[in-house]
Structure 1
Amino acid sequence: MIDAPILRHAETDADVMACFGVMQQLRPHLQSSEAWLARVALQRAQGYRLLAVWDGSKPVALAGYRRIDNLIHGRFIYVDDLITDEAGRGRGHGERLLDELRTLGRADNCNRMVLDTALANALAQRFYFRFGLLARGLHFSMDLQ
């Protein structure tokens, strides 16, 4: 009997390090697992958590998120990162992660779940629309360095 993949937060440094290969598919600018671990430590101080779909001891999909309060959305879940390992796409891992984030957000009295994606990322946009996420605005940014 094969165990089904489970959802579990990456709580330890070892867990976070195990997630590096999957996250690097989404964030290729992350050049080392040590730099990745330092970034996660910094973001954890800002409320960041990393939820993963684990197939045994191997993460196959990740959702980095935090709870934020602001004047636009009130209390909400912001999804910083959402990625499924390229070899495991199409198996429902992304939907499973978003379902769990929705559940966590509701339990924490959040008004909404928010995420950003690139304008050119049509496949992700289609996935988000199917899940029920709606485009409600444009996100503007400017490089400062």
Structure 2
Amino acid sequence: MNELTIKRLQSRDEIVEAYPIMKQLRTHLDEVTYLELVYEAQEKDCYQLFALKSEGEIVAVIGFKPMITLYYGRFIWVCDLVTDTTKRSSGYGEKLLIYVHEWAKENSYESVALSSGLQRVDAHRFYEEKMDYDKVSYVFKKSL
């Protein structure tokens, strides 16, 4: 039987172990920059990184942070969600997102929000059709 576990990644070794999966989403990050950004986000933004393991192997990763804005109120922002490309459509992303939904409820947050790149059509279908997310806005960015 396939044993699935969700674990918060906190030690350097745990965070590094997740890098090959995260690299599939954040292709622009080398391992050193990835580690620096995770540590800084944990320290300054309460960023939390969790992995879903199947038979002891990381198959999906989610990173999120609690936020408060006037628009959303108290909510969780999902910064990163990726399933290993060889293991997609196995329900792993759904399991991690449901875990975050439960974490949010247990910690008195009202909603969960995320952005998804325009090119990620399959991800959009997953969020809207499978996970029942509403498309509520566009995200704009200006590089400085």
Partner of 1:16: 15
Q: Structure 2 residue aligned with 1:36, among 34, 37, 47?
A: 34
Q: Deviations over 1:52-94 (max 9, x none)?
A: 1012442110110010111111110100000000111111000
d(CA) in 1 for partners of 2:81, 2:100: 11
TM-score by length of structure 2 reads 0.94
| Residue equivalent to 1:140 | 140
Amino acid at match of 1:40: V
Structure 1 length-normalised TM: 0.93
After the TM superposition, which parts of structure 1 deviate over 3 Å for at least 4 consecutive aligned residues? Answer: none
Matches within 5 A, 1:1-145: 2-31=1-30, 33-45=31-43, 46-130=45-129, 131-144=131-144
Gaps of 5+ in 1: none
State percent identity of aligned pairs. 27
Question: Displacement of 1:37 after TM fit?
Answer: 1.2
Consecutive unaligned residues in structure 2, runs of 5 or more: none
RMSD: 1.1
Residue identity opposite 2:140 in structure 1: F
How big is the shift at 1:3?
A: 4.7
